[in-house]
Copies of this chain bind each other. A is one copy, B any other.
Amino acid sequence: MNDTSPQAGSTAGPTACVLVIGNEVLSGRTKDANINYLAEELTKLGIPLVECRVIRDVEAEIIEAVNACRAKYTYVFTTGGIGSTHDDITAKSVAAAFGLDFGTHPEAERILLAHYGDKANTARMRMAMTPAGAHLIDNPVSKAPGFRVENVYVMAGVPVIARAMFDGIKGTLKGGRIMVVQTVSTIGISEGMIGEELRVLQDHHASVDIGSYPFLKFGGFGTNLVVRGADKAQVEAACADIRAMIKAAGGTPLDGETEGEELK
């Protein structure tokens, strides 16, 4: 969407950034599943996700990204690198980013000792270490907690755990204006056929963002036109004009998203 829209340029409401920390995503071994989940959840809360970064398990790189992003966004969510092995260096790196001591968190220690009992060992108890003064994030799946320092939320990389952690904290986040989203689609009309008309329409409806997403269906192109805005009446007015534009181009407007093939 364009850079003149109120949403894109707005700095009034809360914003979010996701840092995926893990060599395994960058090597292609693991497909990240957390970005999409957090994107959907944050959108529902009215907290636009403005940036994601995928970075390596390298202390200097974690420090740089955490410090750049925590200064820039209301919320930073990290995933990955808080397990029990030598390659889990996120917690220590976040402590360094904040210039805080790194040591055993008494409540985390209690949780892990209660969970592991006589199976507690050095590796597992490393998961009780946080930056000094960190607030724990509950892990109902495998107990070892995440934590928060100021506006940085440090969560596990394993998707089922990351989701459970986010579900536990999302009620504490200060949400923003929730966008109204409506989609008009059409089959047989490609975005190139209506690009100029759509540009005029976007200029006319400057209070909404119109995104154009092509797909393939029945061997031809189709287009999903997604209208996003804070005001329902303005979103609906733009959708009405989009339907008329599609008809004028010889197509049939369909309410809602059309699932395409190949281009997804």
- Name A's B-contacting residues (CB within 8 A): 1-3, 8-9, 23-32, 35-37, 39-43, 48-61, 83-87, 89, 116, 119, 121-124, 126-127, 158-160, 191-196, 198-199, 202, 209-214, 226, 228, 262-264
Of B49, B123, B160, the contact of A262 (CB 8 Å cutoff): B160
Given contacts A26-B49, A126-B195, A158-B214, contact A87 B2 (CB under 8 A): yes
20 A-B pairs with CB atoms under 8 Å apart are A1-B23, A3-B57, A25-B35, A26-B50, A26-B52, A27-B39, A27-B48, A28-B37, A28-B39, A32-B35, A50-B56, A52-B52, A84-B195, A86-B210, A116-B192, A123-B192, A123-B196, A158-B263, A159-B263, A159-B264
Chain B residues whose CB sits within 8 angstroms of the CB of A212 once the complex forms: 83, 85-87
Given contacts A51-B55, A58-B3, A83-B212, contact A26 B8 (CB under 8 A): no
User: In the complex this chain forms, how many copies of it are found?
Assistant: 2
B residues less than 8 Å from A42 (CB atoms): 28
Q: Is the CB of B214 within 8 A of A83?
A: yes
Chain B residues positioned under 8 Å from A39 (CB to CB): 25-28
A84 / chain B contacts, CB cutoff of 8 Å: 191-192, 195
CA distance A252 to B263 in the complex (A): 43
B196 and A122 contact, CB distance less than 8 A: yes
Q: Contact: B195 with A86, CB < 8 Å?
A: yes
Q: Are A23 and B160 in contact (CB under 8 A)?
A: no
Q: How far is the CB of A84 from chain B (nearest CB, A)?
A: 4
**Interchain nearest-CB distance for A76 vs B (Å):** 14
Bound together, the chains give a CA A68 to CA B211 distance in angstroms of 27
CB-based nearest B residue for A212: B85
* Contact (Cβ within 8 A) A53 B50: no
Say whether B211 contacts A1, CB under 8 Å: no
Whether A86 and B40, one on each chain, are in contact in the complex, defined by CB atoms closer than 8 angstroms, is no
Interchain CA distance A60-B48 in the complex, whole Å? 17
